[in-house]
Every structure is written in C-alpha cells, then in structure tokens.
A and B are shown apart, each in its own frame.
Chain A
Amino acid sequence: MANATGIRRSDAPLRTGHGFAEVNVDRDVRVRSEQLIATAALEMDRLYERICESGCVLLLTDSDGAILHEKSNATLKGAFRVQRLAAGTLRSFAPERDVAAVNYKSSQHPLTLEDLAGEDPQMLRNVRSAYRIADSGVSVLIQGPTGSGKEAFAHAMHLVSRRAERPFVAVNCAAIPETLIESELFGYKPGAFTGARKEGMRGKILQSAGGTLFLDEIGDMPLTLQTRLLRVLEEQEIVPLGSETAIKVDLHVIAASHRNLREMIANGTFREDLYYRLNGITLELPALRDRADKERVIHHALAAETGNGRPAAIEMDARQRLVAYPWPGNIRELRNVIRTALAICEGGVVRGIDLPREIRESESNIGPALVALPAVVETSSPVNPLKAAERAALVRVIAECHGNMTRVAAQLGMSRNTLYRRMKRHAIPLAHGG
C-alpha cells in the first residue's frame, strides 16, 4: 500500500518487534545501480526528513538485504558514506542502535558520467554535451591523451542512451594487428580465408548492433578499412568477408583517438570524409595533470580500488606526491599506482615508500617557478649548435608561458618530467615559491 510519500509501508519485521517502511530505491528514490552512493546518501537525507521521527535509522541494503548504508541521527550520521551500491532497498525502522552501515560492494560497476566528470570544468562541459547528444544519433569523437578515460567515457555515454540495454562493444584499433582489424570488425563467413574459424565470425560491428561500437585509436585504422567503415556508416549495412549478401545493421559509433586526426588528414593518413562522418561533436578529455579536481580523482581512485570494502588510507606525504606527480599515463596510471601501493602497503595505509620510485623522486614536487633566465649558455664545453638551439627553444617557450610548466610541456609535446630533465641538462634554473 502506498502512502502519500510514495513509500510502501510494511508490517513485516526487519527484526523481531520492529516494523519498518520499505522503499524500493530503484523506483522511488531513483538510485541506479551504477550511481555514486553520494547521490543515494543525499536522497537518504531527504527521505530521512520525510519519514523519520526522532531516533529513526535508515538503512540502505542491497537486494540480498545486506546493509550498505545507514542514516540515523546518532553518532554515525555523516561519519561515512559508502562508495557505490547495488540496486537496493531502503529501510527505516524503529530505534535500534546495534547496526552499523557497511561498505562492501564490488567496484565492477561501470562508471557513470557523473563519476567521470568530478568537479573539473572541462569534464562537466563534456558531460553536459554528452547528455544532450546521447540519443541524437550524432556521432561522437573523443579526444584525449592515453589513459584519460576515453573508453570509460564512451561506455558511460552508452549507458545514458536509449541503447543502454544493447551491447557496448569496444575495439582498440591500435591493439589489433592491421591484418586482423578487418575480420574483427566486419566478421567473416566460414572458410573466407586460410586460418579462419570453421564456423565464421560475426564481427564487432554486428555484435554492437542496436548498441554502441567504440572504436578506440581510430587513427590507427588502415586507410582501406577507413573506406569500408565509412561505407558501413553511410549505408548502415555490412558485407562480411567472403559473403556477398549485405546485412542491415543499426550501427552507432563513438570513436576516440589520442592522435591529432586533423594533422593526419593533412598528411593523407586519415580520410577527411570519415573524419566528418565520425566527428558530429568532439569531446576533449583533459590530461589528469590539468584537471582542477585532481585530489577528488585520487580519492575516487582509492575508493574504486578498494571497492570490496577494504579499509584504506593515504598518508599526507604520499598524497602530496600523488597530487604533484604529472601523471603522463593519466587516470589509468593513477589506478595502477594505487592498486600496487595497496597491495604492498601495511594494513591498507599507503605511505610515501609504497609509491613507485618515479613518483617518490618526481621533481615536480618542488612546485617550480622561474627566476631570471641567463641569456647565454654558461658551459665550459664547446657549444653544440643543436643543444644550443634546444636550449634557446626551451628558454623562449618558458618565457612565453610565464613559467607555467604544464603549458610549456604541453606546447613542446613532452611530459613535465621530460621537460624538467631537459631543463636540468641545459642548466635552466628553477626556483621555489613565487
């Protein structure tokens, strides 16, 4: 029976003697399984005000009744939140204080757009665009450095679209030998070529029918296949290798690349028509070092790597190093580093010594600022013109960027670590503070 608040009342006892109200979280509070518990906890706050009198305790449980989160006005209130939850049931029951909430869910859920956005302005813009175009049929091109989460973003877009119930199929064009991309994508009939499987293969395009095909590193796709892909996109039908009959396919592609496709068009290695076919809209994912919410990303990585509920902590020293490190491998590298540190640290407490050497010794911890740059190379050895030219270039770009090392590195197309190494080699000074 539903009451005015839409909450189903039940007299069935959760524990002997305690009546409780049961709310289907999925329906009434709209907590989806992949959603952050933060959202659920917020909904619990609201719900708590609506249905709880003094002394009431709300529990968020998973479908098996295991308690995932508790909301009460007692000491535990606000003390912690659970990371994520399975679609569950929210219960309130009469005062009883011998229950504590528990975080014990796996981190295997795909991330949502909200998870990925965090609080970074550029990511938030991306997410807004993603929502607007999710069901528009507009093709999306995701650009971003390696490890910045292009596939995770594509998957999250898939999940908010009407296609969410159908498969999300990811193909990394750079990871498959050129000669195999064709059969991987388009499939083949039995006996199409030597070494082909007897029963033939459906191919990723057909597997993704009705869902989303994610083509990672599309810039690595050979030109001949670009032509075939373009035709499939335009005709929405496919001819498997060794077959003569075309098969209709409802194909939606999200493509991604860390390479500059416009440059590739200019030098003739990427088809311009395919580029425009794929690029209804371009979303640029920022490098981790450029994100405004780096600390939050670190926090989430820690939560994600301990999704099974293992208690974990990061000491200040280690945390500062994680924040300062330039993360050339982006979020993927961060997750790997945290996963490794958790595996070797004592009792779940990550300290500086648990981090890999390159992070412990990263010079970017210094937070550099430039002092006056000597105009002339001051070395005793004879001047090598190539080195002198490199030094001059470095000095010029550093001056242009007013000493902003992130920008300098970006402009020169190198990591900040490499930049610092080069500066050291050329005796270009850094200074603290400023």
Chain B
Amino acid sequence: MSRTGRVRLASGRQLQKDPAGDGHFLAGPAGIVQLNASAAAILALCDGTLTRDQVIARVLPRSKDDSFAMDAREFLTAARRRGWIIEE
C-alpha cells in the first residue's frame, strides 16, 4: 500500500477551545496539551486531506521570513513523535 503522506490527528485526539475563547487545547488519552494559536492552526489543518508540506504552505504567512516554515516543520515532527498526529 502506498503512503499518501497526508497528516491527520491520531485517534482519540481532539482540538478544543476553552469557553472564554482564549485558549486552545489538544485533548487526548494522556491528558490535555495547551497550544498557542499557531500550533492550533496547524493541528486544525491536519484533517487527513493535506500533506505536511501543504499544511505548512497553508499557514505560512505572507512574509519573506521562512523561519516560520522551519518552526512549523519542527512542530509537526514533534507532534508526530508525541503521537498527536499520524502520517498516512
């Protein structure tokens, strides 16, 4: 079976927002992870329709600074290692 490289949240993981609308969380079996807005934006795009690079391209600001792409890539790597997301 060929791999598509699309990323999605691992099963049992869910993005949540606190009622005040201020905080973002990733709920999962091991508890709750607090996210900043960028992290939440990235994980929100991990819905199984996009590859990692596509996710990064989507959240990339219209700015010349590409350190964000690197940060986003590292975050996705960490998220995969922590078992939050799965690459299909």
From residue A121, how far is it (CB to closest CB) to chain B in Å? Answer: 15
8 Å CB contact of A348 from B26, B30, B78: B78
From residue A104, how far is it (CB to closest CB) to chain B in Å? Answer: 4
Does residue B10 face the partner (Cβ distance < 8 Å to A)? no
Collect the chain B residues with CB atoms within 8 Å of residue A315's CB. Answer: 31, 33, 82
The docked-state distance in angstroms from the alpha carbon of A38 to that of B44 is: 18
The docked-state distance in angstroms from the alpha carbon of A296 to that of B78 is: 24
The docked-state distance in angstroms from the alpha carbon of A100 to that of B47 is: 14
Contact with A along B66-78 (1 / 0, CB 8 A): 0010011011111
The docked-state distance in angstroms from the alpha carbon of A312 to that of B41 is: 11
Most buried by B among A38, A81, A83, A311: A311
8 Å CB contact of B33 from A37, A38, A313: A313
Does residue A82 face the partner (Cβ distance < 8 Å to B)? yes
Does residue B42 face the partner (Cβ distance < 8 Å to A)? yes
With contact pairs A38-B22, A311-B71, A313-B26 given, residues A346 and B33 touching in the complex (Cβ less than 8 Å) = no
With contact pairs A67-B61, A75-B47, A296-B23 given, residues A81 and B71 touching in the complex (Cβ less than 8 Å) = no
With contact pairs A79-B44, A310-B68, A311-B39 given, residues A346 and B20 touching in the complex (Cβ less than 8 Å) = no
Interface residues on A, range: 35 or more
Contact of A102 with B75 in the complex, beta carbons under 8 Å? no
From residue A197, how far is it (CB to closest CB) to chain B in Å? Answer: 39
Name which residue of chain B comes closest to A36, CB basis.
B22
8 Å CB contact of A80 from B24, B31, B47, B77: B24
Contact of A310 with B78 in the complex, beta carbons under 8 Å? no
Which of A159-167, A214-222, A238-246, A299-307 interfaces with chain B?
Answer: A299-307
Contact with A along B1-14 (1 / 0, CB 8 A): 00000000000000
From residue A28, how far is it (CB to closest CB) to chain B in Å? Answer: 22
From residue A42, how far is it (CB to closest CB) to chain B in Å? Answer: 8
From residue A115, how far is it (CB to closest CB) to chain B in Å? Answer: 11
Contact of A79 with B40 in the complex, beta carbons under 8 Å? yes
Does residue B59 face the partner (Cβ distance < 8 Å to A)? yes
The docked-state distance in angstroms from the alpha carbon of A295 to that of B18 is: 11
Contact of A346 with B36 in the complex, beta carbons under 8 Å? no
Name which residue of chain A comes closest to B78, CB basis.
A347
With contact pairs A100-B58, A100-B59, A102-B62 given, residues A319 and B34 touching in the complex (Cβ less than 8 Å) = yes
Contact with B along A100-117 (1 / 0, CB 8 A): 111110000000000000
From residue A424, how far is it (CB to closest CB) to chain B in Å? Answer: 29
Collect the chain B residues with CB atoms within 8 Å of residue A388's CB. Answer: none
From residue A66, how far is it (CB to closest CB) to chain B in Å? Answer: 4
Contact of A349 with B37 in the complex, beta carbons under 8 Å? no
Contact of B34 with A314 in the complex, beta carbons under 8 Å? yes
Name which residue of chain A comes closest to B76, CB basis.
A347
The docked-state distance in angstroms from the alpha carbon of A202 to that of B10 is: 62
With contact pairs A83-B36, A101-B41 given, residues A66 and B63 touching in the complex (Cβ less than 8 Å) = yes
Name which residue of chain B comes closest to A68, CB basis.
B61
8 Å CB contact of A66 from B41, B61, B78, B79: B61
Collect the chain B residues with CB atoms within 8 Å of residue A64's CB. Answer: 62
A-B contact pairs, 12 of them (CB 8 A): A75-B47, A76-B41, A80-B38, A80-B41, A103-B38, A299-B22, A302-B36, A310-B68, A311-B38, A316-B30, A349-B78, A349-B82
